[in-house]
Amino acid sequence: MRRLNQDAVIAIFLILASGVLFWSTFSIRSPDYGVLAPSAWPRVIIIVLAILSVIYLIQSVGKEQPAADQKAQAGRQPGVAGWLVYWKNPIFCFVLFLVYLLTLPLLGSLIGGVSFVFILMSILGGISKENVLTHATLALATVGGMWIIFTYGLEVILPQGVIFSAF
Amino acid sequence: MVIENVLAALNELATFQTALLMMIGVAGGLIAGAIPGFTIVMAVVLTLPFTFGMPAVQGIATMVSVLVGGLSGGLMAGILTGIPGTPSSVATTFDGYPMAKKGNAGLALGLGVWSSFFGGIISAILLMTLAPQLAQVGLEFQPWDYFMLVMFALTITASLAGKNLVKGLLAGVVGLLVRAVGEDEAVGMARLNFGNDALLQGFDFIAVLIGLFAFSRLLHDVRDPESAKRRLSGGEKQFTVNIEHLQAIKTIFKHWTLLIRSSLIGVFTGVLPGAGGSIANILAYDQAKKTSKNPEKFGKGTPEGIIAPESSNNAVEGGALMTLMALGIPGDVTAAVMLGALLVHDIVPSPTFIAEEPVLAYSIFLSFFFATFMMLGLQSGMLRVFVLVTRVRMYMLAAIILGLCGIGVYAINNIEFDLWTLLWFGILGFLMRQFGFPLAPMILGVVLGNIAELNLARAMAITTDLTPFVTRPWALFFLIIAIFSAVFPIYQNNRGQEKWTLFYLPLACFAAAVPLFMMGGLPRPTLAALVVLFGVYTLWRRAQSGWKLSPAVADDVTISEE
C-alpha cells in the first residue's frame, strides 16, 4: 500500500503545484504587441501538467507497490530514524554541498572545493590513517588541478573567497 | 562544393593543439565509458566548461572526441568484468563476458574495438552524406511543422523512457515548464520567477543537466554505504590481455552483412528522437540472433553477439548528430548535451546551418570521423589505465566528480546562482529516480521548450487559425507518429495477448502514408505507396495465420539513462 500512497502524494502535490503555478501566470504582464501572450505557453504547459497529474492520481489508486521496489527498500528500518539511516549518504552529500555553497564567499572555490571533497570522502569512506592521506591527496590533486587549469589555463575567474584574497 | 568544404574543415582541424585535445578527449571518454556509474553524458558535460575558452571548432571537436571515446569505453568493462560501463554496452556483455571467461578475452576485445570502429566509420560517412540532404528536407518545415516535431520528440522519448507513459509525459512537461521560467523568448516579459531577479535569466541548461544527471546519479550510486566503498568493477582482478586485432578483423569481415545491418540499425535509432545507444545495442543484438544460422550459440560467447551491439552503439551518435545538425533537434540525451555545447559556442543548428556555416558543420562531421580513428589507436593503451581506474572506490569517484561539478558549473556563466541550480536539480533528479520518473524526457523538455514556444509564437503571428497543425503534411505526419508512439507502450504490453495489437503496425503504416501522399511530387507518394503495401502485406500475413496471436519474442524496448 505504501507505493499507492507515495504515487498518490506525488500526484496530489503536482495538482496543487499546477494550481499555484497557474495562478501565478496571471501576474505575467502582457505587452500591447505580439500575438502570443507571454503567459499563454506556460498556461498550456500547466494545464497539460494538471491533466496528466489527475491521470497519474487515478492510476495510482488501487495499485500495489511493485515487488521490486519493496525488495529494494527491504533493509530499511521503519520510522524517521530508519529513513535517515537508509538515505544518510545522499543526505550527507546534499548537506555538504549546501555548506560548500553557503561558505563559498568566505572560503572560495579552491579551499571550499578541496575541503568539500576531502570531508565528503572521509564521511562516505570512513576515516583511518591511510584513508586520510589518500583523501587529502586526491582532493588536493583533483580540485587543485582543475582550479589551476581554469584560473591560469582558461583564465576563468573563480570565487576567491575572503581567506584566499587576504594572501 | 562538398570537397571544398571538407578541405576547408580539414584545414581548421589539422592543428597540433586540436589533434592533441581530441586525443585527450578520446582517452578521457574511453576511461569514462569504462567506469560503471560514470556515464557518457557525465563525461561530455564535465568536458564542456574546459572548452569555453577554445575556438568553436576546437571546442566542439574535443567534445565529439569525448563522445566517441565514451561510446567505445563501455565495452572494456563489459567484456572483462561482465558489468557494462554504459547502458549502450549492455548487450555486449551477453557474449563478450562468456568469451572472455573462456580465455578469449583478447579476441572479444578485438571484436568489440573493431566493430566499434567500423560502426563509427559507417555512421560518420552517413552523417556527412545524409545530414545535408536531411537539412534540405528541414527547409520545408514551417513553424507548425517544427512545433509538432518537438511534440513528437517528447512523446516518443516519454513512451520509450519507461514502463509508465504518464510518468514519462509528466517528466517531459516539467522539463518544458522549467524552460519557461524567466524572461520569455519573444517579448522578454518576466515569467514564473516569483519576484526573484536571479530567475529572470531562467535556469542555465547545463547546470540543470549536470544536476539532473550527474549529481543525482552519483548520489544514487553511493546510497548503499557498503557498495560505495567497494572498488569499481570489483577491481581486485588483474587483467593481462593483448587485443587480437588481426583475428578480430578477419572474423568481422566474415560477418560483414551483420556489421552493416547493425550499423544501420544504430544510425536509424540515432535519427529517431529519444532513442539512443541503450536501445540500439539491444535491437541489433536481437536482430543478430534472429537472423543467425546458430542462434543457440548466442549468450555463450559467439562473435556475432559482440559485433552487432558494438557496431550499432557507435553508429547511434552519427544518426543523433544528423538530426541535431540538420534540424536542430537532438536525437537523444547525449545529443542534447552536444546542443548545449554548440549553443555555448554561439552555434545554433538549424536546416540552414550546414549551408550557411559549411566549414564549421564539416569540421564537426570530420571530428567524428577522426575521433573514431583515434579511438582505435588509443583503446589498447587505455586498457592499462582502465585496470588502474577500477582500483578506485565509488565514493572517491563520486566525491571528486561532485567537487569538479562545483567548479565546472560556476565557470559556465561565472554566477553563483548556477551552483544553486545544480543543487536543486540534483535533489529533483535524485527524487525523480527514486520515484521511478525517467529523466530523458525532462532533459528533452528543457532543451526543446524554447524551440516549441518560439515556433508556436511564429505560427500564431502568421495566423491564429489552428488548423495548419493538422492540415500541413509534415505537421500531420509528426502528429500521427506522435500518437502511435504514445500508444506504443500499451501495444508493447499487450502484444501477443490482445487481438487489436495485430492491427497496430498496419494501421500505423496506413496513417503515416496519408501525409506522405499529401506532400506531392514523385518520391514521397512512392514511399507512401510502399508503406501502404507493407501494411497490406502484414495484414495478409496475419490473416493467413488465422489472426493467431504469437507470443512476443523481443524484450521490452526502453531507454536506460545514458
Determine which of A117, A151, A155, A158 to mutate to test the interface with B (most B C-beta atoms within 10 Å). A117
pLDDT given for residue A1 in this prediction: 46
Q: Lowest mean pLDDT of B210-214, B217-221, B267-271, B380-384, name the range.
A: B380-384
Q: Give the 3-state secondary structure percentages of chain A, helix then strand then coil, rounded to 5.
A: 75, 0, 25
CA-based nearest residue in chain A for residue B218: A90
Task: Flag whether A82 is in a domain.
Answer: no
User: What is each CA distance from B452 to B148, B160, B324, B462, B470, in whole angstroms?
Assistant: 8, 21, 15, 15, 16
Are A139 and B403 contacting, i.e. CB atoms less than 8 angstroms apart?
Answer: yes
**What angle do helix axes B56-81 and B40-47 make, rounded to 10 degrees?**
150
* Yes or no, beta carbons of A101 and B400 under 8 Å apart: no
Mean pLDDT of B436-451: 87
With 50 as the cut, is the pLDDT of residue A64 above it?
Answer: yes
B283 confidence band (pLDDT: 50, 70, 90): confident
Domain finish residue from A41, A74, A107 = A74
* Yes or no, beta carbons of A125 and B166 under 8 Å apart: no
In angstroms, the separation between the Cα of residue A163 and the nearest Cα of chain B is 18
pLDDT given for residue B162 in this prediction: 62
Whole-angstrom distance, CA of residue B444 vs CA of residue B339: 11
Domain boundaries defined on chain B: 2-198+208-235+244-460, 472-544
Smallest CA-to-CA distance from B105 within B238, B262, B277, B295 is with B238
Q: Model's pTM, two decimal places?
A: 0.83
What are the pLDDT digits (tens) for B450-461? 889 989 989 988
State ipTM: 0.90
For residue A119, what are the domain limits? 88-165
Mean pLDDT of B531-549: 91
In angstroms, the separation between the Cα of residue B497 and the nearest Cα of chain A is 22
Give me the residues paired with residue B393 across strands: B231
Are B167 and A56 contacting, i.e. CB atoms less than 8 angstroms apart?
Answer: yes
* H helices present in B35-142, as ranges: 40-47, 56-81, 90-99, 105-138
* A68 and A21, same domain (yes or no): yes
pLDDT given for residue A153 in this prediction: 79
* A7 and A57, same domain (yes or no): yes
% of chain B at pLDDT higher than 90 = 28
Show the cell assigned to A97: 554541498
The interface residues of chain A toward chain B in range 64-123, judged by CB-CB distance below 8 A, are 69, 87-90, 93-94, 97-98, 100-101, 104, 109, 112-114, 116-117, 120-121
In angstroms, the separation between the Cα of residue A166 and the nearest Cα of chain B is 21
More reliable by pLDDT, B351 or A79:
B351
B351 confidence band (pLDDT: 50, 70, 90): confident
Q: To the nearest whole number, what is the mean pLDDT of chain A?
A: 85
* A70 and A133, same domain (yes or no): no
Mean pLDDT of A46-64: 89
Contacts of A34 in chain B (CB under 8 A): 186-187, 457, 461
What are the pLDDT digits (tens) for A102-124? 999 999 999 999 999 999 999 99
Contacts of A100 in chain B (CB under 8 A): 406
Query: How many structural domains is chain A composed of?
Result: 2
With 60 as the cut, is the pLDDT of residue A151 above it?
Answer: yes
Q: Lowest mean pLDDT of A128-137, B336-345, B367-376, B474-483, name the range.
A: B336-345
Contacts of B388 in chain A (CB under 8 A): none
Whole-angstrom distance, CA of residue A160 vs CA of residue B209: 26
Contacts of A126 (CB under 8 A, 6+ apart): B229
With 70 as the cut, is the pLDDT of residue B32 above it?
Answer: yes
Region of B194 on the Ramachandran plot (φ > 0 left; ψ -120 to 50 alpha; else beta): left
What are the pLDDT digits (tens) for B155-212? 888 887 667 889 999 999 999 999 999 988 777 888 988 888 888 888 988 888 888 8
* A95 and A69, same domain (yes or no): no
* Yes or no, beta carbons of A38 and B186 under 8 Å apart: yes
* A57 and A92, same domain (yes or no): no
Task: Write the DSSP assignment of B521-539 as a string of letters.
Answer: SSHHHHHHHHHHHHHHHHH
Whole-angstrom distance, CA of residue B42 vs CA of residue B409: 12
Mean pLDDT of B307-330: 88
pLDDT given for residue B18 in this prediction: 92
* A93 and A52, same domain (yes or no): no
pLDDT given for residue B275 in this prediction: 65
Whole-angstrom distance, CA of residue B174 vs CA of residue B440: 12
Are B444 and B336 contacting, i.e. CB atoms less than 8 angstroms apart?
Answer: yes
